[in-house]
Amino acid sequence: MAWIGRKKIAFVPVYRPNVPPPDPPDVIPPDWENAILRRVLFDPDAQTGADRSLRAYIFAASSGRADLDPVVMPMVVIDRKDVRLDQPDILQLGADLKNRGFDAAALVMLGLPPAGTSQRGGFLARFVMAENLGTWAMELMHVLTGFDDIRCQPQFVECPDIGMPPNFAIDMFNFDEMAFNGGMHPSAYTKAAMQWLDASAIAEHTGRIAGYALHAVGLVQPPSSGRSTAVRIGSQVPYMMVEARLMVDQFESPSQLEPGIPSSGVIVYRVQTSDPFGSPEGERLPVFRLTATALTVGQSFTSDTNVAVSVTGTIPGGFLVVVEDQNAPFDSGQLLSYGDAGTPGNVSSPVVVGFGGWLDFKFLFAGKNAAGENRIYAVDQDGQLLSYGDAGTLGNVSSPVVVGFGGWHDFKFLFAGSNAAGENRIYAVDQNGQLLSYGDAGTSGNVSSPVVVGFGGWQDFEFLFAGKNAAGENCIYAVDQSGQLLSYGDVGTPGNVSSQVVVGFGGWQDFKFLFAGSNAAGENRIYAVDQSGQLLSYGDAGTPGNVSSPVVVGFGGWLDFKFLFAGKNAAGENRIYGVVA
């Protein structure tokens, strides 16, 4: 069932003449009908003036999908203290009102809380005047939506000490009206179950990693294009939910009478029931909150099932988040960033710094522009040379700058390094086999005119890349047709690349990838991927044949990349970058 559209609700004042205060006649409101209507139709907050009436709450929580037409009935006198909804005279009263066309009825008594109760999915609710908006709303929502309580109960294995902390940190507490009757918005899970939120407003996370723009639950729903109200991770129960909460209205914000939500940010919770109305299955809490407080920008959470949620930024009315299911394989086209500790097998777990699309480039390599900024360079399908910055965090590779306007896909080799003077350069081998050297000023189209530093024959190499030897000298490395690893120096003037030094005597043509970089300790290394998929790390002493024996820093799987290269992120950390094929 669903509370959609306008429901006609009877509010029945119930007077109990022989009950201790506040029921005696001298405390009955002189205009009880209008006192009830004030609570229902217009109930301004004493401090802010914001309308905290029942109707305003239902309209806001449902984004206008639900409404109520209240009718206050004549006062009924019941001469007993215990007025229960299952008593014969109360059931008859309910049947009479139902026959008169009402969709629900609420007994409104004088007295002290707690008194709120209801026939979930039935017709009758009960509460007292002294109870807050949240109680009135919750009991009528039980009746008209059929949705259950989702708070801690003694029978749940997660709730051994019901009503005492830390249970308020594991059930939804006052992040959901149906867990704590505080007059705040229901969660995205609850709104969707009540049909107050379309299923399409909840993004389904698939694959390894993705970013989402979360529209705060308390705002008008559905979210605008490009946003989601929540993210669901997992297709079966139990599954995780991620949503944004902000104090955006009088119901999410605290007041004198209502607590509002406890904190603004992003919350993560686990749904542990498949019941469409939130009822428990077995002895499990239906909705288990995983984040004790809402996460703010820069904070993250990793579940016991290895799903990580990171808050990466804010947007008007919400937050940017990244969800990474660390159990899932990496997605094709993602740009990964690794650190190399320098010891066997100690390449770190990767950070996905680019979410997708990196397979489409012809060239991909890292270097520095003329200002010394660490960049990732790429050549797109139009032959433009793009320059990106890597902030080092999930998905935070910057938008590209087009530093070269076209023609860059015509080269055989393209890579970055430094000449002997320490100037940062981009090197290319043209169709004539010349080795060209460019400078990148870092602004659109401002790659300099090339210097021809090598006059010919550079197209014949198997590999060509730049790096530093163990002494810190800038080198251009090449693998010739006989498999030797050669090292050149670039003086920076036309044709002045130095004579070669054969630093590795043979077998270098057998690698799938060959590139240079630095490990985490700042040691200059030559990296290679062998035929078994191991990532090897060599040191170059700079003298003939003196490349060191390799260290196996990655034990396997390195054949699966389309691109593999080394560079630095914006923080200056040495990284190995790979694009998943």
User: Is the pLDDT reported for residue 265 higher than 90?
Assistant: yes
The confidence score (pLDDT) of residue 345 equals 81
Total Cβ atoms within 10 A of residue 480 = 18
* Position with higher pLDDT, 548 vs 230: 230
User: Is the pLDDT reported for residue 24 higher than 90?
Assistant: no
CATH architecture of 5-145: 3-Layer(aba) Sandwich (3.40)
* pTM of the predicted model over 0.75: yes
- Kindly report, residue by residue over 459-504, the tens digit of the pLDDT: 999 999 999 998 999 999 999 999 999 999 988 788 788 778 999 9
Instruction: Quote the CA–CA distance of 372 and 359 in Å, as a whole number.
Output: 27
Instruction: Quote the CA–CA distance of 110 and 93 in Å, as a whole number.
Output: 19
The confidence score (pLDDT) of residue 498 equals 72
- The predicted model gives 160-169 an average pLDDT of 55
The confidence score (pLDDT) of residue 11 equals 98
Residue 447 confidence class, pLDDT cut points 50, 70, 90: confident
Residue 165 confidence class, pLDDT cut points 50, 70, 90: very low
User: Is the pLDDT reported for residue 137 higher than 50?
Assistant: yes
Cα separation values, 63 from 53, 55, 218, 223, 289, Å = 15, 12, 9, 11, 24
**Token pair recorded at residue 34:** 């209008």
User: Is the pLDDT reported for residue 337 higher than 90?
Assistant: yes
Instruction: Quote the CA–CA distance of 210 and 331 in Å, as a whole number.
Output: 10
At the top level of CATH, which class does the domain 358-580 belong to?
mainly beta
The confidence score (pLDDT) of residue 147 equals 98
Strands (E), 422-468: 424-429, 435-438, 451-454, 463-468
- Kindly report, residue by residue over 314-323, the tens digit of the pLDDT: 999 999 999 9
- Kindly report, residue by residue over 179-229, the tens digit of the pLDDT: 999 999 999 999 999 999 999 999 999 999 999 999 999 999 999 999 999
First to last CA, the chain: 48
Cβ neighbours of residue 61 under 8 Å, at least 6 residues apart? 137, 177, 185, 186, 191, 196, 251
User: Is the pLDDT reported for residue 426 higher than 50?
Assistant: yes
Domain boundaries, the chain: 5-145, 167-325, 358-580
User: Is the pLDDT reported for residue 404 higher than 90?
Assistant: yes
For 174, the 3-state DSSP assignment is helix
The confidence score (pLDDT) of residue 25 equals 62
- The predicted model gives 28-34 an average pLDDT of 92
- The predicted model gives 86-110 an average pLDDT of 97
User: Is the pLDDT reported for residue 128 higher than 50?
Assistant: yes
- Output b/e per residue, 511-536; b: 16+ Cβ within 10 A: bebbbbbbbbeeebbbbbbbeeebbb
Residue 22 confidence class, pLDDT cut points 50, 70, 90: low
